[in-house]
């Protein structure tokens, strides 16, 4: 059981790292562009999709 838990934790960490990379890149784009509201909406959608994918994988 411990090995399965460790295997499930690894992809979550990689997904979180990808989310951090996406957020940092989107923030840098938001600083360059005037319409940062659209980028924030995209960020929220991406984070919701990541949370949905993690919840579905646990089940």
Q: pLDDT value at position 51?
A: 77
What mean pLDDT do residues 51-55 have?
Answer: 70
Distance CA 26, CA 44 (A): 11
Mean pLDDT of 34-57: 73
| Integer Cα distance of 36 and 26 in angstroms | 9
**24: pLDDT strictly greater than 60:** yes
End-to-end CA distance of the chain: 15
Mean pLDDT of 20-46: 74
Higher-pLDDT residue of 3 and 28 is: 28
Closest CA to 22 of 36, 37, 43, 1: 43
The region that residue 2 occupies, defined by phi over 0 for left and psi between -120 and 50 for alpha, beta otherwise, is alpha
Q: So what's the pLDDT on residue 58?
A: 53
Number of structural domains the chain divides into? 1
The domain in which residue 28 lies consists of: 2-58
Q: Mean pLDDT, to the nearest integer, of 22-38?
A: 71
């Amino acid at each position: 059981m411990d090995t399965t838990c460790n295997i499930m934790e690894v992809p979550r960490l990689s997904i979180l790292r990808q989310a951090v990379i996406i957020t940092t890149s989107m923030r840098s784009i938001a600083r360059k562009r005037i319409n940062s509201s659209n980028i924030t909406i995209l960020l929220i959608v991406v984070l919701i999709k990541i949370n949905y994918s993690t919840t579905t994988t646990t089940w």
